[in-house]
Structure 1
């Protein structure tokens, strides 16, 4: 064990984002009061490592070094540095040990964020799904493990989490490329329509780019259909309601991204979407 603090440096990596910036509920009131602190600990850790990967002032290798240090703190191999980012890993370590949720639900996220830090390209749909396997699916598996639910829920949960991640990529595609020089739209889809990444910076979606987006959304529709059975696999009534609401929000956001232009402004959920989600949650109560 080491207490070397050099890797942390002095650069603030906070993005300023919080739970209110997410499309979907983070530790909502549908999560039982006893479990909410654990969900918040997981979210705080995930927010920190995402911020490290997205930091515009850190060189790629410094980002990877910080992510590696977070993993060492998580495993108890490094003394927790007296910084909020390192402390988030230390708190999650305690939480995971208390709840018995596998550590992989936290460390798998680091695989994706290392790729983000190094600027990985996504050549095709399979590459994108592989990224989502590590960037998004561990979140659902964490919640399933926290609620002591069956592994039978994993496949539907993975489909839902992957759907949510791709929808987020579409919402932020222009900003990600402009600010982070990062593109999650598979390059083979762009080439098929005679486009490059620069098409995402034009301020409006061309007819050719709309076809690319619709191809991605066709894949998301398939994922949403696979995710629709998730509530059936959940025994906890409150968690089942949460899952039903999020499945509905994913479906509603998919529709909005088909109808609205993500280059002209961020396509976001609206009050009517929340009302549909609430109705789905109430139906899942039964």
Structure 2
């Protein structure tokens, strides 16, 4: 158990964020969607920042190219122990960010599963788990993405009836990110999230992902995945109707719109030829969706 000592304060999160000793090279500029945007109330924003700081650290651990799988698992297990109060935090970013989040979750009453579930997914990343089917990919998203939405819903004390639509949105966002980064993930991390049965059915392989442009057979795989994402986006469209807090409802409406816009871009553009990213016009459509969410 943690010894009798003061928990790290919520104000420590900014310094914790900036002192990583492992890094995936990713930052806020790599996010498609707003992280702790100004639509989140000022009172809740420190808790959102604490959660994202913790999530970034465990993501960096899983993606670190200089750690062995065994070292990654040891660090992730240590993060979980600190988060659950099974060991004392030490002055390293990973354990300190877990301790800060522990203080936040204790204060707000948001379930610890919203944080520990993420570690399940990142353990899979550390082990190099293969995703053979769509269902395998959905299981990964259940732990890697869906807890984020559930954290925000419970932090805002919204109805748990919002969970299905939130899960659909978070899974959509995760799969879209996998499609954007499929080549980089394979080259840098030797990791492929495209289901192997879809690749085989289309006559494609991981070698196609390493090409400079998307082949017709790989485009069939992308389109099949995007068909699934379209279904998820339709489910996600009901999310704002479940949210009572106006500012949070606007945030949800904007992100649902951005997910739909990015899905369209990935239909039309080639993620192997360059990163498919949201544009200013997409942001304008999202802003209009947010305004509609105010009512």
TM-score relative to the length of structure 1: 0.96
**Partner Cα distance (1:18, 1:234) in 2:** 29
Q: Aligned-pair distance for 1:225?
A: 0.1
Partner SS state of residue 187, structure 2: helix
Partner SS state of residue 276, structure 2: coil
Tell me the residue number matched to 2:219: 210
Alpha carbons 2:168, 2:235 under 8 Å: kept? yes
Q: Aligned-pair distance for 1:280?
A: 0.1
Please point out which of 95, 112, 128 is paired with 1:119: 128
Gaps of 5+ in 2: 4-19
**Partner Cα distance (2:270, 2:42) in 1:** 39
Cα deviation digits, residues 153-187 of structure 1 (max 9, x gap): 00000000000000000000000000000000000
Equivalences for residues 99-138 of structure 1 within 5 A: 99-138=108-147
Please point out which of 63, 66, 91 is paired with 1:57: 66
Please point out which of 260, 278, 284 is paired with 2:287: 278
Alpha carbons 2:82, 2:99 under 8 Å: kept? yes
Q: Aligned-pair distance for 1:36?
A: 0.3
TM-score relative to the length of structure 2: 0.93
Gaps of 5+ in 1: 4-10
1:85 pairs with 2:94: yes
1:46 pairs with 2:46: no
Tell me the residue number matched to 2:10: none
Q: Aligned-pair distance for 1:20?
A: 2.7
Tell me the residue number matched to 1:165: 174
Tell me the residue number matched to 2:228: 219
Q: Aligned-pair distance for 1:19?
A: 2.2
Cα deviation digits, residues 70-123 of structure 1 (max 9, x gap): 000001111101112211000000000000000000000000000000000000
**Partner Cα distance (1:101, 1:218) in 2:** 33
Write out the 4+ residue segments of structure 1 that deviate beyond 3 Å after TM superposition: none
Equivalences for residues 116-265 of structure 1 within 5 A: 116-265=125-274
**Partner Cα distance (2:149, 2:100) in 1:** 20
Aligned length: 279
Q: Aligned-pair distance for 1:15?
A: 2.7
Q: Aligned-pair distance for 1:143?
A: 0.1
**Partner Cα distance (1:243, 1:52) in 2:** 29
